[in-house]
Chain A
């Protein structure tokens, strides 16, 4: 790790000021992604702005939506009675991230801002029609993820919270990469009345994406069997050491089937 400055402001306003005063500063949330990057010297920010003091840790049921503060740790989402009641699939997703240590540190804001193509949360954000509340604007999920590790967020914008629409039913099923246990393929299925949204993570060359065909098939007949009829195109899917695009295509279908079959 190169040496760097560290500040810990008490509000988002101060955090934004701090980041502006730096040339290439970085917000530090749980540090589960950022710190390893720094240790390996893959990044050399001139300062870290630790946002854990900015009071962004909250979970609130707001009727139609469930609002979660950016600094909320995975463990808090996984164990929250509010989340379990409003969107149990989201608690299940958080509970399956990494290991206990990672869940105790990692945050929802960090995960969404980072948009790792294998991360779990982005699929929930897309499928649950979430809104990302940055410091000065709100961004719809469909406009937020712009490519692998890319989002609509500017460098000096901070995510304050994320509002998830409450679905009728939802489920998240992940096929973990055997080594890292990130999602090799993760599928988030959400039903809002007649509307069905299916978001796939871990598989797309452009990061998380919605599977239109699956959505339309499931909207007309919500069953695991109808998933079987969908032909999953392997074009545009990631091919790597662990899984070819064809294998990922198979996993998308299989994980969707399982998500639909066990939805509640």
Chain B
């Protein structure tokens, strides 16, 4: 390889090519785009959690200054526009299906959460639209709000279609075998944990700009989406019943999603609809309050866990009973997150002979809950790793050693879990060992004693996680209730001078695809990375693709690109064989050159490209001119990143403040395309996990009002809340894809919360504290210390 390609290829920490525009404020987000004649939309939202709407009076709003139109649910119903759909459903234990109540674009007769949209006001300016909305008179008949999801079954019925407010009651695993295993166990460890509710808080709030072209009856929608093609499919096929060709969806630069921008939200659909209704482009931008109130939230589980051990402290069985909060309407992936993305992960890194889980998904008068960085896997990891630590403590074993004796041995792969997944490859002891070494685990007690001298409680906590990325294969997804395919697409266009345009079905909203995808192509073709352009986010340009979520972009999207490049190489060899007057079988491709084996006859990649487009000397009778290939890649299995994170904390007993003082993360992501970007993903993920474990909590009061609806009360992690992370890797390349890659985008957020809470409990264990819920706020930790002291005094 020549110098240039060496620096640019797979495995090098190339600086992110997209960063210049982002760091200099030149990114182009949906809100930066404006159209002549556009009107601004403002949504009037319910300020009560649960009520019948007796009457809506829009008269005064219609005549308010600048107002162009005021529409309600009746107008939507009259045009027969459908609402958002659920992308994945599961069967219930009693054989019934998931209950799927309608989700109207604007409320029809009832509001179901604070923030539920009742009407849209279109006006010349956003302020006028808002003023107009203030003149709408809504007459409510309030119903009793259902907020506590654990007892939602006893609450007022939210949807006629959902008896007992239970969307589904699902199970996985062998209940009888698990019961037998537990009854034969020498010890059963019981734990009840809560996974706190989070607000995604993407830096860029949601935004939509829709325009209608009455010449060809078509729409263009700019929107904040992680998957513009899916948005187009849902809007065109399910909401408006128009051909896909009549709707172009563009997701330009998108400022973070974390899952919250996967789904089609009612606002973007209403903008599309209204743009035709008023014949002018319609723009809507959420402010931060609306983001808090209406972006889908994440997590919100309660899990009851029973783990059975034999006399050697080996796990014999695991039962987990989960109740989760799905909110007012069923969002696109809200059902799969706590079921197939959660229940299937319950074996973790451990050899568990019997597992059973039951999950009840409840409706409440809170905003919808759906995927948020990790989506189901953090919840599974949290309950399992909390339980592992508790079990180790209860049987008096070192938590690292307790994990070690229960790990799936490295020669047991492929390993079939009792909860459907088959892990292709992994090796868990090395990352445990390495993480322990990175944090100097064996000298921890010295550090604890030194901290005690300063009046501080020091603790250490482990989390050995597994996760599953790149949901696949499509056939299995379909069999399990998924309504979408899980492949990814790529189109690789070689331009006449040998430069490359890659069109990917993945979508980048901060992940750095423009860099990593270009590295893959540069590496495989032996050309400089600068010659590779990555295009994404526009349904008119890119092939139909599934977008980015679930850490699938590299494993699925990157693999599709790799396959398309392989096709390019194959065709190029044919062209080279012709030009070099050799047999195709004798052509080797290396370092960007096609060489006739054993000779010095060669053609550079650029020469082949030119020949393909200027086919003067070309095998036209057997080969088409041009050099452009598509690939659709449907993985045969998930990829399974795993790792061990170890957190070290100090607790100040006077204030309850937890300081994270050290962190070791050792992950197995398979091969790394760009280690710097991977490290960034790990850092960001851990920061989010620390946020969940120490700071963040979406809190509704008993009336269904979101009390944490701004940064005055909702606490995001800041740089000074975080330690400097020690990041390391072990590598077992995935056997599923040619690149040997796994996903890294969510691992940090999955691994970190239990490591941190385990560390806090460890710190307080000398006081007899055995439990701590998330977030471990100063007040909560202080209270736990006070309570332990009053118990000790009794």
Contact between A247 and B783 (Cβ–Cβ < 8 Å)? Answer: yes
Contact between B655 and A242 (Cβ–Cβ < 8 Å)? Answer: no
> Does A193 sit within 8 A of B, measured CB to CB?
no
Chain A residues positioned under 8 Å from B34 (CB to CB):
none
Contact between B782 and A1 (Cβ–Cβ < 8 Å)? Answer: no
What total count of A-B pairs have CB within 8 Å? 45
Contact between B654 and A243 (Cβ–Cβ < 8 Å)? Answer: no
Chain B residues positioned under 8 Å from A244 (CB to CB):
779, 783
Contact between B708 and A241 (Cβ–Cβ < 8 Å)? Answer: yes
Instruction: Give the interface SS of chain B, mostly helix, strand, loop or mixed.
Output: loop
Q: Given A241-B713, A250-B782, do A178 and B654 touch, yes or no (CB 8 Å)?
A: no
* Chain A, residue nearest B713 (CB): A179
Which of B130, B655, B656, B695 gathers most chain A CB within 10 Å? B655
Chain A residues positioned under 8 Å from B778 (CB to CB):
175, 178, 247
Q: Given A247-B782, A254-B655, do A1 and B127 touch, yes or no (CB 8 Å)?
A: yes
Contact between A251 and B712 (Cβ–Cβ < 8 Å)? Answer: no
Q: Which of B757-794 contact A (CB under 8 A)?
A: 777-779, 782-783
* Chain A, residue nearest B707 (CB): A241
> Does A2 sit within 8 A of B, measured CB to CB?
yes
Contact between B127 and A3 (Cβ–Cβ < 8 Å)? Answer: yes
Contact between B699 and A241 (Cβ–Cβ < 8 Å)? Answer: yes
> Does A21 sit within 8 A of B, measured CB to CB?
no
How distant is the Cα of A40 from the Cα of B292 in the complex, in angstroms?
14
Interface size counted on chain B using CB atoms at 8 A? 22
Chain B residues positioned under 8 Å from A254 (CB to CB):
654-655
Contact between B715 and A179 (Cβ–Cβ < 8 Å)? Answer: yes
How distant is the Cα of A241 from the Cα of B715 in the complex, in angstroms?
12
Chain A proximity of B785: nearest CB distance (Å) = 10
Q: Given A243-B779, A254-B655, do A179 and B127 touch, yes or no (CB 8 Å)?
A: no
Chain A proximity of B659: nearest CB distance (Å) = 12
* Chain B, residue nearest A179 (CB): B715
Chain B proximity of A191: nearest CB distance (Å) = 23
0/1 interface trace, chain B 628-667, chain A, CB 8 Å (1 if under) = 0000000000000000000000000011100000000000
Contact between A178 and B655 (Cβ–Cβ < 8 Å)? Answer: no
Contact between A242 and B127 (Cβ–Cβ < 8 Å)? Answer: no
Contact between A247 and B779 (Cβ–Cβ < 8 Å)? Answer: yes
Contact between B782 and A180 (Cβ–Cβ < 8 Å)? Answer: no
Chain B proximity of A117: nearest CB distance (Å) = 13
Instruction: Give the interface SS of chain A, mostly helix, strand, loop or mixed.
Output: loop
Q: Which of A54-113 contact B (CB under 8 A)?
A: none
> Does B714 sit within 8 A of A, measured CB to CB?
yes
Chain A residues positioned under 8 Å from B654 (CB to CB):
250, 254
Q: Which of A215-256 contact B (CB under 8 A)?
A: 241-244, 247, 250-251, 254
* Chain B, residue nearest A1 (CB): B127
* Chain B, residue nearest A182 (CB): B712
Chain A residues positioned under 8 Å from B779 (CB to CB):
242-244, 247
Which of B127, B699, B782 gathers most chain A CB within 10 Å? B782
Chain A residues positioned under 8 Å from B695 (CB to CB):
178-179
> Does B495 sit within 8 A of A, measured CB to CB?
no
> Does B442 sit within 8 A of A, measured CB to CB?
no
Q: Which of A177-206 contact B (CB under 8 A)?
A: 178-180, 182
18 A–B pairs (Cβ distance < 8 Å), ordered by A: A175-B655, A178-B777, A178-B778, A179-B695, A179-B712, A179-B715, A179-B716, A180-B712, A180-B713, A182-B712, A241-B708, A242-B777, A244-B779, A244-B783, A247-B656, A247-B783, A250-B654, A254-B654
Contact between B711 and A180 (Cβ–Cβ < 8 Å)? Answer: yes
Contact between A2 and B707 (Cβ–Cβ < 8 Å)? Answer: no
Chain B residues positioned under 8 Å from A180 (CB to CB):
711-713
> Does B131 sit within 8 A of A, measured CB to CB?
yes
0/1 interface trace, chain A 1-30, chain B, CB 8 Å (1 if under) = 111000000000000000000000000000
* Chain A, residue nearest B128 (CB): A3
What are the 3 tightest A-B residue pairs by CB atom distance, in nearest-first order?
A179-B715, A180-B712, A247-B779
* Chain A, residue nearest B708 (CB): A241
Chain B residues positioned under 8 Å from A178 (CB to CB):
695, 715, 777-778
Chain B proximity of A125: nearest CB distance (Å) = 23
Q: What 20 new A-B contacts, CB under 8 Å, besides A241-B708, A247-B783? A: A1-B127, A2-B127, A3-B127, A40-B289, A175-B655, A178-B715, A179-B695, A179-B708, A179-B713, A179-B714, A180-B712, A241-B707, A242-B713, A244-B779, A247-B656, A247-B778, A250-B654, A250-B782, A251-B655, A254-B655
Which of B127, B289, B712, B783 gathers most chain A CB within 10 Å? B712
